[in-house]
Amino acid sequence: MKDTQQVEALKDSFCNKYASSKVENMMVITRNGEVHYMTDNNPRGVDCSYLGGKLKGSYNIHTHPPDTTQYSFSTDADIPAAFADGTRIMEAVDYKYRYRFVVPENITFEQWDRARSDVQDHALQYMAERGMSVADIEENELHVIIEETCKQLGVTGYSRWEVHK
């Protein structure tokens, strides 16, 4: 899909339809422009492995259900999967936030995960530096861990913003 307006319309439609879904849903746009929608009717994930090599260079977006959202990507599933399957851009949406991660081309998952582990060990410190307290852990801990990991590695492709309904 080369038409930016068409892609943005697809993304917005997906978010509007599934942001509050009780199960994870996913849309993948391959580098050749194929659009795939999928769900496993599971609140904890969607298996898109059947797409195989079509994931390389893809854009994908998935939902995080209200009862299982961590208000950012999971560092034990979403981020490793994006590095492993060759995803270029990963987004996710829940009822409150939308987030985006452009998988860096010059950093391996092992490098990213080492930095993430170091940051995670000091997550409360990084949260405090951002004016957050223990009360903010549920909504912001993973976000701060990913944001700070990216900052330390010089990765500029992570963002999170509020969804306004």
Would you say 97 and 160 are in contact if contact means Cβ atoms under 8 Å apart?
Answer: yes
Query: Rounded to two decimals, what is the model's pTM?
Result: 0.92
Distance of alpha carbon 16 from alpha carbon 14, whole angstroms: 6
Q: Are 2 and 82 in contact (CB under 8 A)?
A: no
Edge-to-edge strand list for the sheet holding 25-29: 35-39, 25-29, 59-63, 89-93, 97-102, 158-162
**Kind and range of the H or E element at 6?**
helix 4-18
User: According to the model, what pLDDT value does residue 164 have?
Assistant: 73
Other beta carbons less than 10 A from residue 33's beta carbon: 11
The domain defined by 4-106+156-162 carries CATH number 3.40.140: yes
The alpha carbon of residue 121 and the mean position of all alpha carbons in its chain are separated, in whole angstroms, by 21
- The pLDDT assigned to 3 comes to 77
pLDDT in tens for each of the 165 residues of the chain? 557 888 899 999 999 999 999 999 999 999 999 999 999 888 888 999 999 999 999 999 999 999 989 999 999 999 999 999 999 999 999 999 999 999 999 999 999 999 999 999 999 999 999 999 999 999 999 999 999 999 999 999 999 999 976
Closest C-alpha among 116, 99, 125 to residue 151: 116
pLDDT at 2: 58
